[in-house]
């Protein structure tokens, strides 16, 4: 009861703000509930409609995607979320009697709850989209000031995941360049999202909470107190320049990544645009070793066998979904006088299987990459080691001493991945 009463006060503050009446002290009245630990420990694996379809969505597209999870082996590989993005509701406002957001009956004739039931019957989970503003990015009803009723509606519909966007924010809910005392947790941006955290906490169904805040308000500093993952950049594009820029951005804030705390590099672009196969391999590998949520973003029926092999790679997914190690791979100095690049090219990380090395070729030409075994964090300065190729699942011939250097030719924009074990 206290939780519900407390949230109602914060929700009222939001309503006042929307109507132009700034709360007297919104920081004091803002809820402080933290996200549920029943979900979100590991970065999400699934699919989202936006990159493939934008607003051109209907029930059949989601049922097709859900069934393709089964037929393409994605469910067996660990993918579980089928997520709606923007444009799923009526655009002309809420139900005047119940104040609920109303699904578009033409696009979703069985309702969102009916679609969720069909997805659940396949053993999968179902996600939805809203916005911490007055309208969504495409101009549909959003949730600022209506967090409690929307969370209750999503709970009743059987929603498992909420992507919560950042468009159409009233002026008095925006932030100064630097908040008082540099406290971003008590910024207006954080409080807008905290109100939905409290609302989700007040319902019975555990709902994974994805903060689509585009890296605003230093979200990585407070995101784990409010949600399970948080966008660190603007929207993904199927371009190599986006992939490298967001990798570099994530590397700079990777200390915030752990269980229940995931820097979100946005949805996958594998299958979209003109990315080379090597660039798609690096796209997937980097999202995996940096432990970003991996939400596929293409028409799954159009993926070829090579692309499917990339997104179903069991060893990279095992690193990404490791149940005992929540931290990502991090850059290391692979050899003396190693050149500096942005993003870094050499990463090392640990899993329940041991030590892993990932090497990204940022160059536009094939290059020989190398690392000294004793430079890899955690391996030590003595002993002998074997290398295992995580892409092919095969062991490399021979053993290597700690003082030796391993070299490999890497194609432009490709990534190699190895598991290192003691010989």
What residues are labeled active site?
165, 235
CB under 8 Å to 417, separation ≥6 — which residues? 285, 289, 315, 316, 356, 357, 358, 359, 389, 390, 391
- What gap in Å lies between CA 402 and CA 384, rounded to an integer? 6
CB under 8 Å to 67, separation ≥6 — which residues? 122
The angle formed by the CA atoms of residues 27, 30 and 33, to the nearest 5 degrees, is 130
- What gap in Å lies between CA 64 and CA 60, rounded to an integer? 6
- What gap in Å lies between CA 350 and CA 64, rounded to an integer? 37
Cβ(83)–Cβ(163) below 8 Å: yes
Cβ(264)–Cβ(229) below 8 Å: yes
- What gap in Å lies between CA 49 and CA 298, rounded to an integer? 7
| Residue that the structure tokens 């980097």 belong to | 286
- What gap in Å lies between CA 208 and CA 34, rounded to an integer? 12
Distance, CA of 45 to chain centre: 8
Residue 261's nearest CA partner among 27, 43, 418 is 43
CB under 8 Å to 384, separation ≥6 — which residues? 399, 400, 401, 402, 422, 423
- What gap in Å lies between CA 253 and CA 291, rounded to an integer? 12
Is 401 in a helix, a strand, or coil? strand
CB under 8 Å to 328, separation ≥6 — which residues? 254, 257, 289, 290, 291, 349
């Amino acid at each position: 009861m206290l939780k519900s009463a407390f949230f109602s006060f914060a929700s009222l503050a939001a309503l006042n703000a929307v109507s132009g009446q700034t709360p007297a002290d919104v920081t004091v009245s803002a809820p402080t509930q933290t996200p549920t630990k029943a979900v979100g420990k590991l970065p999400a694996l699934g699919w989202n409609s936006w990159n493939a379809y934008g607003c051109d969505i209907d029930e059949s597209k989601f049922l097709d995607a859900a069934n393709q999870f089964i037929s393409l082996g994605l469910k067996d590989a660990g993918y579980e979320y089928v997520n709606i993005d923007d444009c799923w509701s009526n655009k002309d406002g809420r139900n005047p009697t119940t104040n609920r957001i109303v699904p578009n009956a033409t696009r979703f004739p069985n309702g969102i709850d009916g679609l969720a039931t069909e997805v659940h019957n396949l053993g999968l989970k179902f996600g939805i989209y809203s916005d911490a503003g007055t309208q969504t990015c495409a101009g549909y009803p959003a949730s600022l000031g209506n967090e409690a009723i929307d969370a209750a509606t999503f709970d009743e519909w059987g929603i498992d995941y909420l992507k919560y966007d950042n468009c159409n924010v009233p002026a008095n809910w925006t932030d100064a360049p630097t908040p008082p005392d540099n406290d971003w947790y008590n910024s207006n941006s954080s409080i807008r999202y905290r109100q939905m955290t409290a609302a989700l906490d007040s319902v019975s169904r555990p709902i994974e909470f994805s903060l689509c805040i585009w890296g605003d308000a230093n979200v990585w500093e407070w995101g784990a107190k409010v949600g399970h993952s948080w966008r660190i950049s603007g929207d993904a594009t199927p371009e190599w320049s986006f992939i490298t820029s967001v990798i570099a951005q994530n590397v700079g804030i990777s200390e915030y990544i752990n269980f229940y705390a995931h820097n979100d590099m946005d949805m996958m672009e594998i299958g979209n645009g003109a990315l080379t196969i090597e660039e798609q391999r690096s796209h997937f590998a980097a999202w995996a070793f940096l432990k970003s949520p991996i939400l596929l973003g293409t028409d799954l029926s159009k993926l070829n066998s090579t692309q499917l092999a990339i997104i179903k790679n069991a060893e990279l997914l095992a690193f990404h979904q490791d149940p005992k190690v929540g931290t990502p791979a991090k850059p290391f100095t692979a050899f003396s006088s190693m050149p500096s690049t942005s993003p870094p090219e050499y990463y090392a990380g640990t899993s329940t299987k041991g030590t892993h090395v990932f090497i990204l070729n940022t160059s536009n030409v094939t290059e020989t990459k190398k690392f000294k075994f004793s430079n890899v964090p955690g391996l030590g300065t003595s002993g002998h080691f074997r290398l295992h190729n995580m892409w092919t699942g095969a062991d490399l011939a021979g053993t290597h001493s700690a003082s030796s250097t391993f070299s490999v030719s890497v194609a432009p924009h490709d990534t190699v991945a190895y598991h290192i074990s003691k010989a």
